[in-house]
A and B are shown apart, each in its own frame.
Chain A
Amino acid sequence: MFSLTQSWYLVLAAMIFAIGATGLLIRKNPLVQFMCVELMLNAVNLTFVAFSKMLNDVGGQAIVFFVLVVAASEVVVGLGIILAIMRRREDADTDDISLMRG
């Protein structure tokens, strides 16, 4: 029987991060892309907590607190932008939003 080490948490976080990054590149619905960004942020949070346990340091948990706040404000502003775009065009995906393309 394997023993549960902190590396297992890091491996799991790496898998969640990779899934989120792939989803961010594959999906075109901006809402779903935001959810994939949340997945990646959560994977990083899990890594921070695992390292905090490994180093016996409370700093890792404090950083997770700030990541949570930044994620919340990012979602609020991002959803506001999506709302403003979707109000004008129905079913816009990220390929259609090319007004600022050079």
Chain B
Amino acid sequence: MRVEMLTFLLAGAICLFGALGVVLLRNPVHNALSLVATLFGVAVLFIAEGAHFLAAIQVIVYAGAIVVLFLFVIMLLGVDRASAEGAERVPGQRPIAIAAGLAILGLSLTAILAATERVTGTPSVVGPLDDGLADINRLGRVLFTDYIFAVEITAALLTVSVVGAVMLARRSKDEPIDLDEFPDGTTASHLPDYVDDIDELPVDDDVTAAETDSSEDATAEAATAEAKPNESEGAEPNASVS
């Protein structure tokens, strides 16, 4: 019992600190790595609850595929630096959001603790957990008998999402929709052109959050995007070389 308690406390602490890191850290890469910590803690808790197969696919699918996808997009877009959160459009958004989070927490805790250890519902409807089978055997049998329709629909969902992602990510040669904001009509004007010699790039050593602070206004930023060659993105290849 003491080992289980220790496992729960350690994994729970990892989960909570990872979750706080996702919300509070400023650099998107750090957010993604904190998310890995939380997912790993949840996987450990899955093992503590006897769901070994789910723990395995939690690590493989979430930490292995989804977070890598996040990191890939972060690197591709070049937003892997501290982002300054701009001014709030809705006045008092942050206090209201924190109050809403606390309200959600309070409501859930009340619901959980008021009904301590009393769960509504009929036990073992789909199948018992303590039938002596291995976890993956039990889950596989349930998935391909009781939930076979859901499995088939899931296959269709995955196909649709793959096709949709390819369609979305394809760079179209047509005009962008918002031509009024981008009269030149280029779709990727803010991305740096390919440079043969990396030393030709303008060097800007102190790319900090202060720089993005100064350009909070989105429209001003969009207007200047074509006007000036982008210093911040130009500095990145230099940073990776050194």
Contacts and interface: CB of A to CB of B under 8 A. Distances in A.
Interface in B117-144: 117, 119, 121-130, 135, 138-139, 142-143
Contacts of B167: 80
Interface in B61-114: 61-62, 65-66, 69-70, 73-74, 76-77, 79, 83, 85-86, 89, 93-94, 96-98, 100-102, 104-105, 108-109, 112-113
Nearest to B66: A75
A89 B15 CA distance: 34
B112 A72 contact: no
A26 B94 contact: yes
Interface residues of B, number: 104
Contact of B218 (A2, A18, A25, A95): A95
A83 B85 contact: no
B201 interface: no
A68 B222 contact: no
B101 A25 contact: yes
A44 B200 CA distance: 51
Given A19-B16, A56-B124, A80-B168, A88 B230 contact: no
Contact of B130 (A32, A56, A77, A92): A56
Interface centre among A58, A62, A88 (most CB of B within 10 A): A58
B212 A22 contact: no
B183 to A, nearest CB: 14
A27 to B, nearest CB: 7
Main secondary structure of the interface of B (DSSP, over half): helix
A58 B89 CA distance: 46
Nearest to B71: A31
Nearest to B125: A57
A5 B1 CA distance: 11
B84 to A, nearest CB: 9
Contact of A5 (B79, B117, B122): B117
A58 B28 contact: no
Contacts of A22: 23, 97-98, 100-101
B168 A57 contact: no
Contacts of A73: 157-158, 160-161
B15 A29 contact: no
A92 B49 CA distance: 41
A72 to B, nearest CB: 6
A14 B112 contact: yes
B69 A76 contact: yes
Nearest to A88: B176
Interface of B: 1-2, 4-5, 8, 12, 15-16, 19-20, 22-23, 28, 31-32, 35, 38-39, 42, 45-46, 49-51, 53-54, 57-58, 61-62, 65-66, 69-70, 73-74, 76-77, 79, 83, 85-86, 89, 93-94, 96-98, 100-102, 104-105, 108-109, 112-113, 116-117, 119, 121-130, 135, 138-139, 142-143, 146-147, 150, 154, 157-158, 160-162, 164-165, 167-169, 171, 176-178, 182, 187-188, 190-191, 212, 218, 221-222, 225, 230
Given A7-B112, A58-B128, A64-B54, 7 more contacts: A18-B101, A31-B31, A35-B35, A52-B51, A79-B70, A87-B187, A91-B212
